[in-house]
Amino acid sequence: MSLELPIDIHTVKGFLAASEGEALHHLAVEACGLGACLEVGSYCGKSTVYLASACKLVDGVLYAVDHHRGSEEHQPGEEYHDPELFDEDIQLMDSFRTFRTNIRAAQLEDWVVPVVAPSSVVARRWNTPLGLVFIDGGHSREAAMTDYRCWARHIVPGGYLAIHDIFPDPADGGQAPYEIYNLALASAQFELVETVDTLGILRRV
């Protein structure tokens, strides 16, 4: 039986498979008992809806971190560029308006704290313990490494690290998320819980 969400998720732009979103939802329900939830890379709010719907069930909170200027692949001329999200006046990507529209339509504003800034800037003074960190930001090696190094250390013992777009075979997709996934496992601070499509779920030991 599919998960019931407060909005037709197919109307929300994004690249998260339904199976991955449902896995995040169930994970967040458990993680909220350990600390706040945080996602890096909200885009138009697809993953946010899955996570915040879980937070609503258990009176949790989701911090949604994104500068909303698009990742490398969203820029003009790149594979995943969306002209509807391009602000012609300032010649920059801007997904924040669409993100807010979707979260409002889903009636989830009371469970989402949008943080509109680069991941590294937000993390500078961060001190809130996290039960779940979902990394789905920029897919360059530098961006993925920055997100991992900034946020993995804030996950409480027993909390979860979820990483999207893990492709062991380079022919299937970029390798940066797979690199930080392997880095987390090699650190001995995380153990594998499961993989769902391209979503890797790890627990902090």
- Which residues are marked as active site? 139
Contact 65, 122 (CB under 8 A): yes
C-beta neighbour count of 185 within 10 angstroms:
14
The span from the CA of 205 to the CA of 178, in Å, is: 20
Q: E strands within 92-172?
A: 92-93, 112-115, 130-135, 155-163
Q: Which residue has the tokens 């889903």?
A: 106
Q: Which residues pair with 194 in a beta bridge?
A: 201
